[in-house]
Structure 1
Amino acid sequence: MIGLLIQAILVAIIGGIIFSIIGVIPGTDETATMAPLTLVLVLMGFEPVVVFAWFMAIIVAMQITHTIPTAMAALPGSTMAVPMVHNCEIAKKMGIPHIAMRKLASGSVIGSIIALPVSLLMASILAPLSDIISQYSGLIFTIGAVLIAFMSKAKFGAVVSLIPFAFFIQGLQRLAVEATGGTLFISIFMGITIGPMIAELFNVLIPSRRELQHRTRPNEIWLAPEPKQKKKGFPNPFSYFTKNQMGYVAGASAVSACTFTFSPVGMTVLMGELLAPRKKELYDRTTTGLGIQDAVSNATYIGELLIPLVAFGLPLSPVVLGPAFPLFNNIDIHGALGIPQYLLYGFIGIICGALFAYPLSMKQARKWTAAMFRYVSHEALIGAFLGLICMLAFYEAGLFGIFVAVIVGLFGGILNNFFGIHTGVQFMGYYASTFIVAQMTALAQFLA
């Protein structure tokens, strides 16, 4: 027990440091960074509780530090930060980007603290339904895929695309059986993950698309000045909100932690637009909205991880179908831990994730943002993760696995970049593909 605790703390601290740095880099995708590194830990044989603590830490760390470029430069630090850009732009025009950043980071910590016990309580309430849900998992995946598809930019186009995408996935699985003797998971999963990147790289080979991406000079980015007053010691996240704002942040976090089927980005937008406009004064509305949005961002992530994990043992949420799927497909964590263990190792992850990320965000935001823009190449980061994903695909199925990952990535990336059918839709389509193909085949045979 003591050995596991020490191991979980060390791994969570390392994860917190790594993803504190990754979060500062603008435009980072959670699935493309969290999933492969988590899978590496799983394949190295770490105990489920250690991997769980790691994942909680990297959620918290990345969701805190993605506030730095978002608030300071109005560039989303990750895909989850996109809904916050508008309020951050308003904050910059008002001359309060440092206050916006503190509201975001503090809301993120508070949302995590509230979400852990609330989501575990909701999971306990829903657990008796696990057997019923397991029997209809294929139908549930399909319904979830349709709902998430319709909520995407492509609307009905995304819904219709689920059918050809399902046949595409099942066709590749058939080829995999012939080539390797079994179906694939890692290669297809990672292919969907890197899809947008693969499609962007493929554009270089097309003259018309390459011309659109051509730049004659480096982008210019202006950062807000460093705040003059700095607080000493570890910042208290609760001190950055008024009692009224704290009520909004806490309430939004608790509600969001109970959801497990909606898009985290969608919940962030929904709760921010629902609650923030209640404030009439611009400063109050903007800062309250930012606190709510980042709290909801973390709370939704944690709720969508824990409720399917604890209650059902099935990947029934966008978070689990993306960044957290290595916790489901590669280790048997459902039923292995009790609620007290989830609380203990969950809070270990939250504390270790915030230990480095939160003081960094509150005290070194501008310095680290400037360093990342100046010295870290986004292309180098993409290349590093592409290399890692190729390694994982090769581990599963050799060169054939790499071929599958690239093929899925190109097809999925085109759907994402050109038609707005994002990776969340594709992940749901992947897990619904068996049911969809079976039903379409049965329908064809019936009509014949």
Structure 2
Amino acid sequence: MLIIQAIIVSIIGGIIFSIIGIIPGTDETATMAPITLILVLMGFEPVVIFAWFIAILVAMQITHTIPTAMAALPGSTMAVPMVENSNIGKKLGIPHISMRKMSAGSMIGSLIGLPIAILFAQILAPLSDIITQYSGLIFTIAACVIAFMSQAKIGAVVALVPFAFLIQGLQRISTEAVGKTLFTSIFMGITIGPMIAEIFNIMIPAKRAENRREKPTEIWLAPDSKEKMPFFPNPFKFFGKSSIGYVAGCSAISACTFTFSPVGMTVMLGELVASRKKELFDRVTTTLGVQDAVSNATYLGELLIPMIAFGLPLSPVALGPASPLFNQINLHDYLTMSDYFIYGFIGIIFGCMFAYPMAIKKARKWSEKMFRSISHEALIGAFMGLVCMLAFHEAGLFGIITALVIGVFGGFLNNHYGIHTGVQFMAYYASGWIVTTLISVCALAI
């Protein structure tokens, strides 16, 4: 039965991405998209693939709290906004409390975000024709908003233009070289851009000397908590009444967004809650719980709303980690409304069966194991190899070259100017409208 298959892949995916989430610095898109694409290419049923993706999303969003809270190292890109408060919690001697608040918030965000996103998608579905008609303009507006919310501000907005021209230029070359436009190679190039840029730095003597280390980096983990917990604690019990209101309310709001960066939503709603809390302990722990709830709910909203209402990747999540669910196989054409509820909750429940208890009870033990046993460089090398394989599958050697070109340029923008991959993914889908419009304007001016 499909339900049994969905349960099995959800458990397997939950275990795999629970472990990946513990490793600091991992990128959701670089890890989730390639493996999901392999499942799509293997021919798994659409509902099974959907359950898999929900499971790995939830698992990674829960366990990325472990290195973030215990060592103030972001377990994934979505955990970056939580580092500052996690560091304060560490100095206060409460990293285990911070981690439990974050894990519980993540569970609450998932449980609230799924039904809210599905219902809101149904409300927007009648507008699908209008939104589809103006998708290029919508992507461009969303790209400008997300770019302005990044560290680079106006610089990121301006950078959309050259990046759009680079993408469209490569698409024109690919049409001449391999007879088609490319998606996977460009998408993967953006995904691993920060990694490629770091590797490129090694080839430059000044940068290599700047980054050289005489000894391995030392990481100090806080002591483990002696408090006993049930196997699967009730996530709502980790918050007081007012805090639950903030966590639930922010989860519901963020689940209705689908064009803004998940990181941007996490920062914005987290700061809103922090401004309303005066006492330090309450502010830090409540804000962390809200931020992780928002990260999960936003991810679900940005996956489900474009998928159900439009069948188009009209969000950073749909453009990034969930891209195979729209491009290689469009789940919009295969899943019914009941499928979204049934297999979505299967993904949440069975995806967190390993991640949630581990984050609550075994955080320090597993953090130490990952830090000691898994090389971050080996992880980067493995995903670089996987990306090259997928690019070669699409367009041979030209696909790999395209991924590297995009990766070097996009990685430079990310690492040096703070124009993150969320901006770049939006620029990719807005590039056609940006280039066409500017060419038309130039033609009129001549």
Match of 2:222 among 218, 221, 224: 224
Residue 105 of structure 1 aligns to a residue in which SS?
Answer: helix
Q: Would you say 1:155 and 2:153 are equivalent positions?
A: yes
What TM-score results when the alignment is normalised by the length of structure 1? Answer: 0.97
Structure 1: state its 5+ residue gaps.
Answer: none
2 CA distance for matches of 1:173 and 1:245? 49
1 CA distance for matches of 2:85 and 2:180? 49
Count of equivalent residues: 446
- Aligned partners of 1:19 and 1:61 also within 8 Å: yes
Residue 278 of structure 1 aligns to a residue in which SS?
Answer: coil
- Aligned partners of 1:80 and 1:264 also within 8 Å: yes
Residue 280 of structure 1 aligns to a residue in which SS?
Answer: coil
- Aligned partners of 2:150 and 2:264 also within 8 Å: no
Match of 2:353 among 346, 352, 355: 355
Aligned residue identity for 2:304: L
What TM-score results when the alignment is normalised by the length of structure 2? Answer: 0.98
- Aligned partners of 2:185 and 2:391 also within 8 Å: yes
Per-residue deviation, 1:278: 2.1
Correspondence for 1:404: 402
- Aligned partners of 1:261 and 1:304 also within 8 Å: yes
- Describe the superposition over 1:296-355 as per-residue Cα deviations: whole angstroms up to 9, x where unpaired: 110111111111111111111111111111111111211422221101010011011111
Correspondence for 1:287: 285
Match of 2:335 among 328, 334, 337: 337
Structure 2 counterparts to residues 383-398 of structure 1, below 5 A: 383-398=381-396
Q: Would you say 1:16 and 2:19 are equivalent positions?
A: no
Correspondence for 2:258: 260
Per-residue deviation, 1:97: 0.9
Structure 2 counterparts to residues 15-414 of structure 1, below 5 A: 15-414=13-412
- Describe the superposition over 1:183-238 as per-residue Cα deviations: whole angstroms up to 9, x where unpaired: 11111110111111001000011011111101111111111111112213322212
1 CA distance for matches of 2:287 and 2:164? 39
- Describe the superposition over 1:240-277 as per-residue Cα deviations: whole angstroms up to 9, x where unpaired: 11222211111111111111111111111111111233
2 CA distance for matches of 1:233 and 1:372? 22
- Aligned partners of 1:310 and 1:335 also within 8 Å: no
Per-residue deviation, 1:279: 2.6
1 CA distance for matches of 2:284 and 2:153? 30
Q: Which moved more, 1:341-350 or 1:271-280?
A: 271-280
Q: Which moved more, 1:111-120 or 1:431-440?
A: 431-440
Percent identity at matched positions?
A: 71
- Aligned partners of 1:58 and 1:353 also within 8 Å: yes
2 CA distance for matches of 1:159 and 1:17? 39
Aligned residue identity for 2:405: I
- Aligned partners of 2:59 and 2:351 also within 8 Å: yes
Correspondence for 1:6: 4
Residue 404 of structure 1 aligns to a residue in which SS?
Answer: helix
2 CA distance for matches of 1:323 and 1:44? 18
Residue 334 of structure 1 aligns to a residue in which SS?
Answer: helix
Per-residue deviation, 1:139: 1.2
Aligned residue identity for 2:295: S
- Aligned partners of 1:57 and 1:352 also within 8 Å: yes
Per-residue deviation, 1:121: 1.0
